[in-house]
Structure 1
């Protein structure tokens, strides 16, 4: 028995030494960071549309004022003059800023279900349409009338609208930081109606859609039409002996093309 006790101590020590030398698995803590948004995904598309009264071409333009992509690119479109095409510029804000906007949109709860945004008691004011897509699910959309006005609204409706206003303002402000011209190479051309054959108008050399229909142009033909339309107030174009109303709209990546 006296011989067995030292032997047991030796065996126990050898076992402990072997265990201590074995590699230890390191378990990394689960990351709480949201998955990266694909670089080419349209995360936000903000469109400001017309009121109830105005020229018919207003209802067909539907040009997004701001488009935000997953890689941090923000495209902004603004009218050069009444009736002319909208000039498109590009700004880079970075992926981190896009994620902050996503977080703000999610926290607001506005893009869940059917939020009650109310209807201000004011007539003939435009609408703001916001499309939001942070994951693989279909885009979530909000359509709000007279954003920025608060007449006749409840406290809850005001709070929801203020969250939307802050988001739109933040994106619009960021788009103004060091913008550069965006090389437009796709446009849609919508024929609205016959013109009145008065005044001067540039000659239209592209394909001619039927009234109420549109066609797509790409490449150099699209670029030429876009640049000419920037300086064509009234969207009037000379085709033979007639003046036609042709609405030229830049089509940026992820934007809908011709609807007709």
Structure 2
């Protein structure tokens, strides 16, 4: 029995000693190596060549219509020259003929050609005219005509360009100058026009629209802002309106409508006076 205790004691002593040796031995740190040499910076690339300036061909600046320009230039504009591109006396190759008093318009480049969208105010319509690279009129069609249910005098117009105003498509904003009507939003690129379709942008409100001018998308980031002129002569004396949406830079359906309110008006004697609630004022008189 004593021999067993002695053997057990010696075994534990050896194990304990071995463990102590293992734990108590520190490994010596290696020496730091020498830092490498930094590589050389690459050379700058060569600057590209400047593009050529656009030089319009001489044929672009000439009368294209059979009718001379109906413009009288005063001496103050002696360096300005006017040219006629299209008149109501002209008939284009596809039978299109320009009618009505031309008002607000938009101009787009389409490859080497151009698209001109314009309101025909007296005919309650909007036309689209295609020009070649030298501004010779090629053809025309009607994007809106008086057969539409809410026909109105189409007054001023503004081309909403996606690159400028936001969104992913161009829209021609045509102002309907009749009491309680919508601004019409028309696709200038449509292949087959639907001139009697409903183009009304209800969210912008119903006014006697003189114009509807969208602000560039960078004016208020993430917002859609359209300033409108109300040409109402029925008693309200007209107003300045604003459509505001905070749902992105091309939201024409979910915004709110605001109307500019005067705080003071002329008192008729060279001074001003505070406005009264529910009172209509005419600053033009």
After TM superposition, the score normalised by the length of structure 1 is 0.23
Q: TM-score, normalised by structure 2?
A: 0.21
Structure scoring higher RCO (CA < 8 A, sep ≥ 6) equals 1
Larger Rg over CA atoms = 2
